[in-house]
Structure 1
Amino acid sequence: MKLRYKIILFAIIPLLLSFAAIALAVFYQTNLLAQQQRNTVEQAYLASKETELKHYVNLGVAAISKLYNAQLQNAATQEEAKAILAKLDFGDDGYFYLYDMQGKNLMHPRQSDLVGKDLWNLTDPEGNFTIRKLIAKAKEGGGAVRYLWEKPSTHKVAPKLGYVVALERWGWVLGTGIYLDDVDNALNKIDAQNTRNSQSTMFWITSIAVISALLIAVSGMALNISESRIAEAKLKALAQSVVRSQEDERARLSRDLHDGISQLLVSIKLQIESGIAKLGLPKTDTESARLSFTRATSQLNEALGEVRRISHDLRPAMLDDLGLAVAFEHLAEEFMEDSGLPVHLQILGDISGLSDTSNTVLFRIAQEALTNIHKHARNASQVDIELSGDQRMVNLIIADNGAGFDVPGIASHPKHGIGLSNMRERLASVNGRLAVRSDAGGTQVSAQIPRSMQ
């Protein structure tokens, strides 16, 4: 996998993990709050229902209070009280019922088949003794009891909240109740709403996470495309620069061969032909013939020197034969002869041990820097070259005290800065670094090549 894709992947994975952690925390908190809300609502419902039932029971007791408190007590009085309670109701499923302390049903207006039956051992679908619980609560002074009972309107067992009190004078348990299926329905609606809210929250978190990941991926792809285009443009510019450099080098070599060696060889040819012709005359002027051959020999030496100069420019043999230090000394001497500028060369530390390629790169950078000084360093009067080495790298610094130039402007110009670009490319091939600093006080070119990469 390419590095750019790894970077994108390492950016997306922590993001998705963060969103997953956020989603888990939100899911946990949402469920916790939903449960707390459900419990609060349920407690509020039950408290209000219990208060309501207490009022109903108080009304029932008040309805028969005259009979209950009458001095004359007989079976007829109790029957009259049962009749009054049987007529009291509230809604389709709100009624009063009576039991004695032994669990016998005395009055039930909705389920008359239960009247007179002993329900002490009656259990609900969950195995709880319903009547025992009601009588026990009445003996404790009265209160609310939750239990399961058949709902008259639907004939189905439903949760019910009852409220009972003891009528001790008659040995009765008076009670009423409210079915809680409407409460359960309300709580179920709350649960359903909370579930939908939780799902909606998870959906939005997931959507945001996916969109964020897609944005990172798209941004990464756009960046890759942009970098690829920039790289292609740089590669194209580099290829054009290489072609231009090759063509410039070929043009220079062609000029050197045509203007220098070619003319010298033609002159040598003419001198030799002239000498041969003079030797063939009947009255030979040997001195004149000797002078022609002498001139030819001198010009031949010039041609050989020109060949050595061209060969040196193409590949400095001193690098291979005598080393980097001697090659730099010769380069400095040549520059002083050509430019007339004094050069102060310092070679410090250990500069040996570099590869042939690295030596060539340093030499070519020095050549390029000195050529730029000769061509562009206005008002320069001094050139300093420092070549130094330590255990980690070899450093080259070339400085002049000329007028300087705009480094960013030259580097970004499409038609200028080819020399700087060539320097950077040469150093990049051996993992080196180039630094250029220039101002009104002069220009300094620094090159570093690490030994560890040799």
Structure 2
Amino acid sequence: MKLRQKVIFLAITPLILAMCAIAYAVRHQAITLAEQQRATIGQAYLASKEAELKHYVTLASHSIAYLYQSGRKDAAAQEEAKRVLGALSYGDDGYFFIYDLQGNSLMHPRQPELVGQNLWELRDANGNLTIQRLMQRAKNGGGFERYNWIKPSTHQSAPKLGFVILMPEWGWMMGTGIYMDDVDQALDKVDAQQSGNIRSTMLWIAAIAILGALLVAGSGLVLNISELRVADAKLKVLAQRVVESQEEERARLSRDLHDGISQWLVSIKLQIEAGIARLCGNAEQQAKAPATFERAAEQLNKVLGEVRRISHNLRPAILDDLGLAAALDHLVQEFNDSSSAQASFAASPATAGEGLPDMVNTVLFRIAQEALTNIERHANASRIEVSLHGDEGVSGAVELRIADNGGGFDFDGIALHPQRGIGLRNMTERMEAIGGSLHIASTPAGTVVLARLGLQP
């Protein structure tokens, strides 16, 4: 997986995970609220049904109170009460029923075939003893009881909520009931609506998540394309700078070899030939031969010094042998020998820079070398301070500081100029290549170059 793909993946993955977490939380809360709403609606339905049943039974009791409370227990009074209660009805499936204490059906207006039958052992579809449970409820002071019964309008067994009371003077259990299948249908409808709402919410969240992922992926793709173009452009510029730097170094080396070593070698060659010719001549010429060879030897020493200088500029051996601090100190001494400005070097602590990788040593040395070269050419400074500081609190952290009292320069103007500031850009790119940073502050009172690098163990 390429880096840009990893970046897009790392950007999209938290978004998808966050949306999934939100979707789970919303779904959980929605289901919880739906269950609470269903329970609330169910309780409200049940409360209304219970109040309705209690009201019906109260009306029925009042309708036969003149007979029941008269003290009569004859069959005529009871038959009149049955006739009054049998005539009372509400809705398609609302009626009153009467049983004696032995479970015999005395009145059932919607199922007259049950009248006269003993239903004491009658069980519903769930195996519950229906009449016995109703009788027990009535003997306990009356109240509500749930059971299953045949619904007259559909002739199918349906859940029913009954309310029964005991009429002890006549030995009756009188009651009525409301079928609860319509309540269950209403609650199922509420559940279906809630499920639809939850499903719609999940679809919206999924659509938002997909749209967000597409936007992130599209933005990442556009950004990657843009960054890729910028990186390609920078790479081309960097490659061009590398080639230019190589050509400049080769040209400088060629000039040093041609203007210095080559001319001296030609001169030495001519003097050696002259000395050989004098050795073959008369006594006077032979006497002058040693002086010629001595001059050739002096020029050879100069050539050796020039070779050491060129070699040092290419790669100072002291950097590998003694370390960064010693190499910088030697660089400052060479600068003082060849420049009118005076430079000083200090390392804090004295072991600063020890144990650094070779690449880091080379980069910091080249930055100091480039800075001193720029100061000599452009700053017109009289005093330069070079310091190397190693932070003992952070393993491997190092800071190189070069400060001068020259006239300064317009850093922003030079940095933006396409044909100037190549050395400054090279210094910055060298530090970035090893994970460090380069800061340059320039004023008319002087310039400070600060190279910082914090290395991990």
Scaled to the shorter chain, the TM-score interval is 0.7 to 0.9
What's 1:374 paired with?
376
Maintained 8 Å contact 2:143/2:164: yes
Q: Give the 3 Å change call, closer, same or farther, for CA 266–30 of structure 1 in structure 2.
A: same
Maintained 8 Å contact 2:403/2:447: yes
What's 2:87 paired with?
87
Residues 57-66 or 124-133, more deviating: 57-66
Maintained 8 Å contact 2:272/2:293: no
What's 1:386 paired with?
387
Instruction: State the Cα deviation string for residues 204-250 of structure 1 (Å, max 9, x = none).
Output: 44444555555555555555555544443433222111101011122
Maintained 8 Å contact 2:73/2:170: no
Equivalent runs, 1:27-66 vs 2, <5 Å: 27-66=27-66
Maintained 8 Å contact 2:275/2:293: no
Match for 1:418 among 396, 404, 422?
Answer: 422
How far does residue 196 in structure 1 lie from its aligned partner after superposition? 2.3
Distance 1:62 1:356 in 2: 110
Q: Give the 3 Å change call, closer, same or farther, for CA 367–58 of structure 1 in structure 2.
A: closer
Q: Secondary structure at the match of 1:93?
A: coil
Unaligned residue ranges in structure 2 (runs of 5+): none
Equivalent runs, 1:176-215 vs 2, <5 Å: 176-212=176-212
Equivalent runs, 1:273-312 vs 2, <5 Å: 309-312=309-312
1:441 counterpart letter in structure 2: A
Q: Secondary structure at the match of 2:177?
A: strand
Distance 2:180 2:358 in 1: 96
What's 2:249 paired with?
249
Maintained 8 Å contact 1:350/1:388: no
Residues 380-389 or 97-106, more deviating: 380-389
How far does residue 305 in structure 1 lie from its aligned partner after superposition? 6.0
How far does residue 116 in structure 1 lie from its aligned partner after superposition? 0.8
Q: Give the 3 Å change call, closer, same or farther, for CA 400–95 of structure 1 in structure 2.
A: same
Equivalent runs, 1:339-378 vs 2, <5 Å: 339-346=339-346, 349-350=350-351, 360-377=362-379
Instruction: State the Cα deviation string for residues 159-178 of structure 1 (Å, max 9, x = none).
Output: 11222233333322322222
Q: Secondary structure at the match of 1:89?
A: coil
What's 1:443 paired with?
447
Instruction: State the Cα deviation string for residues 400-428 of structure 1 (Å, max 9, x = none).
Output: 11133455654555434322333344456
Number of equivalent positions:
450
Maintained 8 Å contact 1:399/1:444: yes
Q: Secondary structure at the match of 1:58?
A: helix
Maintained 8 Å contact 2:96/2:109: yes
How far does residue 322 in structure 1 lie from its aligned partner after superposition? 8.2
Q: Give the 3 Å change call, closer, same or farther, for CA 153–264 of structure 1 in structure 2.
A: same
2:88 counterpart letter in structure 1: L
Maintained 8 Å contact 2:124/2:149: yes
Distance 1:75 1:321 in 2: 132
What's 1:175 paired with?
175
Q: TM-score, normalised by structure 1?
A: 0.79
1:420 counterpart letter in structure 2: L
How far does residue 186 in structure 1 lie from its aligned partner after superposition? 0.3
Maintained 8 Å contact 1:271/1:295: no
Q: Give the 3 Å change call, closer, same or farther, for CA 358–58 of structure 1 in structure 2.
A: closer
What's 2:402 paired with?
398
Q: Give the 3 Å change call, closer, same or farther, for CA 334–67 of structure 1 in structure 2.
A: closer
CA RMSD of aligned residues (A): 4.5
Distance 1:323 1:32 in 2: 72
Maintained 8 Å contact 2:385/2:404: yes
How far does residue 52 in structure 1 lie from its aligned partner after superposition? 1.8
Unaligned residue ranges in structure 1 (runs of 5+): none
Maintained 8 Å contact 1:350/1:390: no
Q: TM-score, normalised by structure 2?
A: 0.78
- 2:121 paired with 1:117: no
Distance 1:177 1:354 in 2: 95
Q: Give the 3 Å change call, closer, same or farther, for CA 87–445 of structure 1 in structure 2.
A: same
How far does residue 117 in structure 1 lie from its aligned partner after superposition? 0.6
- 2:151 paired with 1:145: no
Maintained 8 Å contact 1:395/1:448: yes
Residues 50-59 or 304-313, more deviating: 304-313
